[in-house]
């Protein structure tokens, strides 16, 4: 599948990245490794590099020899980029992963936090025991096309619909989410149907996750495939190139755009409570989200699905590639 998500001209660099990224991720302050372009004076150039993402840049003399990123790995240049710490749900690690009645979140009147039927992408949604995330879009089972779909779903993150693995199949999903006034049973929109379990780092075990994703089954008449301010997903765009412009609509920051800064990213994501999960094959953009935007569907400017937003830092947003989301959840987000 890697050949479908990385431009052909970067496959050799991706192979070297994969070979060396475990060593790089053991270095002090390193939170991710990805393919990107060199950044000079806060401006991106066209020089391809292996980007080493750190939460804070440090002077070389403050680092041990083993913690200094080499200027080249084999034939490929490296570039150290400061991005801050990465949290699921944006910069608020507690948001969306704790109990709804334990977290207070400042909300503004312009947020997409009202009840809407049929429910559409961009609006507030959440498991009955969290605060709130974003409904990405509505979708149906990955069956041969054309066919007669038997079930219809809302798509969002595992940590929005399945409480980071802590929910049960059949649990109530509310629209809007509990933090935005959603109450059971009045605002029941769907019930948790399936999710891809998140595998957390434990000791020397550092499994690769590819998606933070889940679906909940609802009634057809209550679900709308439209994404507010964006429209209907027309196709999949599975291999975004560095520099491409993308867009999303989310519950907290409404409609935003961003630029793809890195592809094929391997990043360590903080889920709060000391839990960290490693994600591979991720798309990284400029900052285009905040806590509560988790689950937003990211598209290109022609409504091609790019991925599912799930995490971020003060300078970057992290997106699951849509190809992995569809395959692992066995769903279809496009018309065909």
pLDDT in tens, 200-248: 999 999 999 999 999 999 999 999 999 999 999 999 886 788 999 999 9
> Are residues 215 and 241 both part of a single domain?
no
Give how many domains the chain has, as a whole number.
3
Alpha carbon of residue 203 to chain centroid: 25
Q: How many Cβ atoms from other residues are within 10 Å of residue 211's Cβ?
A: 26
My answer on whether 136 and 209 are in the same domain is yes
Residues 309 and 258 in one domain: yes
Last residue of a domain, one of 201, 227, 253: 227
Report the side by side order of strands in the sheet with 331-332. 133-134, 124-127, 172-174, 188-195, 214-218, 152-156, 137-141, 331-332
Domain C-terminal end among 208, 227, 246: 227
- C-alpha to C-alpha distance for 83 and 66, rounded to whole angstroms: 21
Domain assignment present for residue 7? The answer is no
Least confident of 3-12, 147-156, 301-310: 3-12
Statement to judge: residues 198 and 240 lie in one domain: no
Report d(CA 10, CA 41) in Å as an integer. 24
Domain hosting 268: range is 231-322
CA 126 to chain centre: 16
Q: For residue range 107-144, list pLDDT tens digits in order.
A: 454 579 999 999 999 999 999 999 999 999 999 999 88
**Residue 106, pLDDT score:** 44
* Residue 286's CATH number: 2.40.10.10
pLDDT digits (tens, 9 = 90+) for 183-196: 999 999 999 999 99
Whether residue 335 lies inside any domain: the answer is no
DSSP class of 317? E
Tell me what pLDDT residue 237 has: 81
Assess if residue 115 is contained within a domain: yes
**Which comes out higher in pLDDT, residue 16 or 43?**
16
In a domain, 73, yes or no: yes
Confidence (pLDDT) at 3: 61
CB burial of residue 58 (10 Å; 0-12, 13-18, 19+): middle
For residue 96, the model assigns a pLDDT of 39
CB atoms within 10 A of CB 98: 17
Mean pLDDT of the region 24-49: 91
Instruction: Specify whether 251 is located in the same domain as 211.
Output: no
């Amino acid at each position: 599948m890697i050949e479908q998500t990385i431009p052909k001209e970067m496959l050799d660099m991706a192979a070297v990245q994969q070979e060396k990224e475990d060593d790089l991720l053991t270095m002090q302050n390193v939170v991710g490794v990805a393919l990107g372009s060199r950044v000079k004076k806060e401006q991106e150039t066209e020089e391809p590099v292996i980007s080493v993402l750190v939460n804070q840049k440090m002077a070389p003399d403050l680092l041990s020899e083993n913690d200094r990123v080499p200027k080249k790995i084999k034939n490929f240049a490296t570039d150290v980029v400061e991005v801050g710490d990465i949290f699921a749900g944006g910069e608020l690690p507690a948001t969306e992963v704790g109990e709804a009645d334990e977290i207070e979140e400042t909300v503004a009147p312009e947020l997409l936090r009202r009840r809407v039927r049929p429910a559409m992408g961009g609006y507030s949604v959440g498991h009955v025991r969290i605060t709130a995330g974003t409904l990405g879009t509505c979708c149906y089972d990955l069956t041969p096309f054309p066919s007669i779909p038997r079930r219809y779903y809302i798509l969002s993150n595992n940590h929005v619909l399945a409480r980071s693995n802590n929910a049960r199949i059949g649990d109530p999903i509310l629209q809007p989410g509990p933090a935005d006034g959603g109450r059971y049973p009045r605002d029941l929109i769907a019930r948790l149907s399936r999710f891809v379990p998140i595998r957390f780092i434990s000791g020397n075990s550092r499994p690769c996750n590819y998606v933070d994703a889940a679906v909940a089954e609802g009634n057809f008449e209550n679900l709308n495939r439209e994404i507010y301010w964006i429209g209907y997903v027309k196709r999949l765009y599975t291999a975004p190139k560095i520099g491409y412009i993308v867009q999303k609509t989310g519950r907290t920051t409404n409609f935003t755009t961003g630029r793809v800064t890195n592809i094929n990213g391997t990043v360590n994501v903080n889920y709060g409570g000391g839990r960290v999960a490693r994600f591979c094959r991720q798309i990284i953009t400029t900052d285009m989200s905040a806590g509560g935007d988790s689950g937003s569907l990211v598209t290109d400017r022609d409504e091609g699905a790019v991925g599912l937003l799930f995490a971020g830092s003060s300078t970057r947003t992290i997106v699951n590639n849509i190809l992995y989301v569809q395959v692992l959840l066995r769903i279809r987000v496009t018309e065909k």
